[in-house]
């Protein structure tokens, strides 16, 4: 009697769990963590007179369709001189997850939620992240509020921070909101059901687009990469669906970038050290210059974000279909962001990709541990207390969070490639168009266009570099190890 193979979803779950352990990530919560979580009943809202009552404001969340770990809400109101005041409410995770508790220990170990094709490994137990510390619809929640007044040019003119009591009046999804804002889809039902929300979202979209234009003038990079997600019907894997930026994701991105900047500057003004998010100047700038030159654009010899952004915007207008391929090449050449200590004597570098100097992570405390750290620092600063972390602790945590984020990314990529290997198993020997996404002594990688899958070029990789267009043949796949092997030949641009 032959043993049947596991269902695709179950096989991918097993691969993900194994990869988590191999990378030093905890795939499950300990008994101590779960016992501690069960004992948490929720914050006593009526004992916090210092929190502003903001429940009547028309707060709404915009996130992925299936997201339940909601970290932030937003609302806006007119200000003088045509300006707009935007409020961003961030879930007060620290109110329930105490420093040095068992739950905190698990979060500090993993430092991030890990989103794989078949299974989510949340940083916090779901009783917290999708319930008690989530800004879900219709429930009263404590939040840290960032208030920002933005002028008509998208520039920040004033800001404030405080604690608040909020209620989410509408849980919205990126794709539906974007389609409606672009006039190609119906009004989302929650928007139609909540009086005043139509005007609210249009006002937020308008100010976010102005903020986006303002950042682009300062050199913020307009990058559009394709992020494929596995599509299941029951436990059967049926395909990969590409995700890309849209108007709603841009709205949230602008508000979060601004809120993170306000938070970083507030901590600095209060004399608090912090963990900053930085993206240093790209080491492989010369290759970016070569890619631009091949498209008859001259970039300066030294890294300059404004010049790179002008090049990217020009290419997006000239060739929108292939722009994601160019974006992917640039992303790979820019390198990865990292966390770094910022204090009076050790100034962190700026974020090259966002074109901002003062930047931290603070807006996703249900999903990222650096945001929990920042929240604790911020609440201490607001209350006039001493910092809950020493500089040496922050430095060690910054390095640890960077390393664990890298490990989480590798787990996610492995499972994504294992899913892709499942889908491509019957297509060995077929040819595909692709683009080189990595080239180093460790190997050369390419992503094919349809389906959007990355694999290793094991034949014909000589003289290939990031950004080169290639024609590849699928040689073999290995689902368990996430291997997809190609043979390549260059193709004309």
Q: Is the pLDDT of residue 300 over 50?
A: yes
- Residue with the larger pLDDT of the pair 82 and 306: 82
Residue 341 φ then ψ, to 5°: -70, 135
What is the share, in percent, of the chain residues with pLDDT greater than 70? 91
Give residue 5's pLDDT. 57
Burial of 366 (0-12, 13-18, 19+ CB in 10 A): buried
Both tokens of 12, joined, read 């991918």
- Residue with the larger pLDDT of the pair 358 and 343: 343
Helices 285-294, 323-334: crossing angle, 10 deg rounding: 160
Distance of CA 103 to the CA centre of its chain: 23
Q: Is the pLDDT of residue 270 over 70?
A: yes
Contacts of 50 (CB under 8 A, 6+ apart): 163
Give residue 287's pLDDT. 86
Q: Is the pLDDT of residue 174 over 90?
A: yes
Give residue 411's pLDDT. 96
Give residue 90's pLDDT. 98
Contacts of 373 (CB under 8 A, 6+ apart): 275, 389, 394, 397
Q: Which of 364-368, 397-401, 474-478, 489-493 has the lowest mean pLDDT?
A: 489-493
- Residue with the larger pLDDT of the pair 50 and 301: 301
pLDDT digit string (tens) for 109-143?
A: 999 999 998 899 999 999 999 999 999 999 999 99
Q: Is the pLDDT of residue 373 over 50?
A: yes
Give residue 143's pLDDT. 96
**Summary mean pLDDT of the chain:** 88
CB 344 within 8 A of CB 387: no
Task: Give the pLDDT band of residue 383 (cuts 50, 70, 90).
Answer: very high
Both tokens of 458, joined, read 């094991």
Report H helices in 164-284: 174-181, 189-193, 197-217, 247-269
- The whole-number average pLDDT for the span 317-341 is 79
Q: Is the pLDDT of residue 203 over 90?
A: yes
pLDDT digit string (tens) for 402-413?
A: 999 999 999 998
CB 136 within 8 A of CB 68: yes
Q: Is the pLDDT of residue 353 over 60?
A: no
Give residue 233's pLDDT. 80
Give residue 2's pLDDT. 43
- The whole-number average pLDDT for the span 204-224 is 78
State pTM to two decimals: 0.87
Three-state secondary-structure class, residue 337: coil
Domain with CATH 2.40.50.140 in the chain: 428-493
Q: Which of 20-34, 310-324, 357-371 has the lowest mean pLDDT?
A: 310-324
Both tokens of 269, joined, read 């003004």
The CA distance from 114 to 109, in Å, is 12
Both tokens of 93, joined, read 């995770």
CB 85 within 8 A of CB 160: no
Q: Is the pLDDT of residue 493 over 80?
A: no
Among residues 203, 197, 223, 213, which one has the least CA distance to residue 254?
213
- The whole-number average pLDDT for the span 143-164 is 96
Give residue 354's pLDDT. 52
Q: Is the pLDDT of residue 1 over 50?
A: no
Each as own residue / partner, the long-range contacts of residues 311-316 (CB below 8 Å, 24 or more positions apart, any chain) are 312/221, 312/222, 312/223, 313/216, 313/222, 316/222, 316/224
Q: Which residue has the tokens 């892709």?
A: 420
pLDDT digit string (tens) for 411-445?
A: 998 998 999 999 899 999 999 998 888 888 889 98
Task: Give the pLDDT band of residue 347 (cuts 50, 70, 90).
Answer: low
pLDDT digit string (tens) for 78-117?
A: 999 999 999 999 999 999 999 999 999 999 999 999 999 8
Q: Is the pLDDT of residue 207 over 90?
A: yes
Give residue 60's pLDDT. 98
Give residue 147's pLDDT. 98
Contacts of 168 (CB under 8 A, 6+ apart): 59, 60, 61, 70, 73, 135, 136, 137, 138, 139, 141
Residues composing the chain: 493
Three-state secondary-structure class, residue 360: strand
Task: Give the pLDDT band of residue 153 (cuts 50, 70, 90).
Answer: very high
**DSSP-assigned beta bridge partners for residue 454:** 447
Give residue 465's pLDDT. 87
- From start to end of 419-468, where are the E strands? 431-440, 443-448, 453-459
The CA distance from 166 to 223, in Å, is 33
Q: CATH assignment of 428-493?
A: 2.40.50.140
Among residues 122, 126, 120, 118, which one has the least CA distance to residue 234?
118
The CA distance from 444 to 454, in Å, is 11
DSSP code of residue 131: I
CB 417 within 8 A of CB 117: no
Distance of CA 181 to the CA centre of its chain: 22
What is the share, in percent, of the chain residues with pLDDT greater than 90? 63
Give residue 136's pLDDT. 96
Report H helices in 244-357: 247-269, 285-294, 305-318, 323-334
Give residue 325's pLDDT. 73
Helix (H) or strand (E) holding 227: strand 227-233
* Torsion sign over Cα 340, 344, 347, 351: positive
The CA distance from 76 to 88, in Å, is 9
**DSSP-assigned beta bridge partners for residue 487:** 459, 473
The CA distance from 480 to 70, in Å, is 33
Q: Is the pLDDT of residue 164 over 90?
A: yes
Q: Is the pLDDT of residue 467 over 90?
A: no
């Amino acid at each position: 009697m032959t043993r049947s193979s596991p269902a695709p979803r179950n096989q991918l779950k097993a691969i993900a769990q194994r990869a988590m352990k191999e990378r030093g990530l905890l795939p499950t919560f300990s008994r101590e963590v779960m016992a501690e979580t069960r004992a948490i009943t929720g914050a006593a809202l009526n004992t916090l007179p210092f929190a502003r009552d903001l429940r009547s404001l028309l707060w709404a969340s915009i996130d992925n369709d299936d997201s339940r770990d909601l970290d932030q809400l937003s609302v806006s109101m007119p200000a003088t001189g045509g300006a707009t005041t935007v409020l961003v409410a961030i879930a007060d995770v620290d109110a329930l997850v105490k420093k040095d508790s068992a739950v905190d220990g698990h979060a500090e170990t993993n430092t991030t939620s890990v989103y794989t094709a078949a299974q989510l490994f949340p940083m916090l137990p779901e009783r917290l992240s999708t319930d008690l510390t989530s800004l879900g619809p219709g429930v009263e929640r404590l939040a840290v509020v960032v208030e920002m007044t933005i002028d008509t040019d998208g520039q920040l003119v004033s800001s404030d921070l405080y604690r608040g009591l909020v209620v989410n009046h509408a849980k919205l999804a990126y794709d539906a909101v974007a389609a409606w804002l672009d006039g190609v889809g119906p009004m989302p039902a929650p928007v139609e059901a909540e009086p005043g929300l139509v005007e609210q979202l249009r006002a937020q979209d308008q100010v976010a687009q102005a903020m986006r234009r303002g950042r682009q003038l300062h050199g913020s990079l307009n990058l559009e990469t394709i992020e494929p997600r596995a599509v299941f019907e029951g436990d059967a894997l049926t395909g990969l669906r590409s995700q890309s930026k849209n108007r709603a994701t841009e709205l949230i991105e602008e508000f979060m970038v601004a809120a993170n900047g306000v938070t970083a500057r507030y901590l600095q003004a209060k004399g608090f050290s912090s963990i900053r998010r930085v993206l240093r100047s790209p080491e492989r700038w010369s290759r970016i210059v070569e890619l631009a030159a091949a498209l008859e654009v001259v970039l300066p010899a030294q890294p300059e974000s404004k010049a790179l952004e002008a090049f990217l915007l020009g290419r997006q207008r000239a060739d929108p279909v292939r722009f994601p391929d160019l974006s992917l090449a640039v992303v790979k050449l820019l390198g990865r962001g990292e966390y770094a200590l910022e204090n009076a004597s050790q100034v962190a570098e700026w974020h090259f990709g966002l074109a901002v100097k003062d930047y931290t992570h603070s807006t996703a405390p249900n999903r990222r541990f650096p945001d929990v750290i920042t929240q604790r620092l911020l609440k201490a600063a607001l209350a006039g207390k001493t910092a809950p972390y020493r500089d040496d602790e922050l430095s060690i945590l910054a390095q640890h969070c960077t390393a664990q984020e890298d490990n989480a990314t590798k787990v996610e990529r492995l499972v994504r490639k294992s899913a892709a290997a499942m889908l491509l198993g019957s297509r060995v020997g077929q040819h595909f168009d692709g683009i080189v996404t990595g080239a180093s002594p460790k190997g050369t990688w390419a992503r094919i266009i349809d389906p959007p899958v990355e694999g290793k070029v094991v034949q014909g990789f000589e003289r290939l570099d990031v950004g080169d267009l290639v024609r590849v043949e699928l040689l073999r796949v290995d689902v368990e190890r996430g291997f997809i092997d190609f043979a390549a030949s260059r193709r004309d641009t």
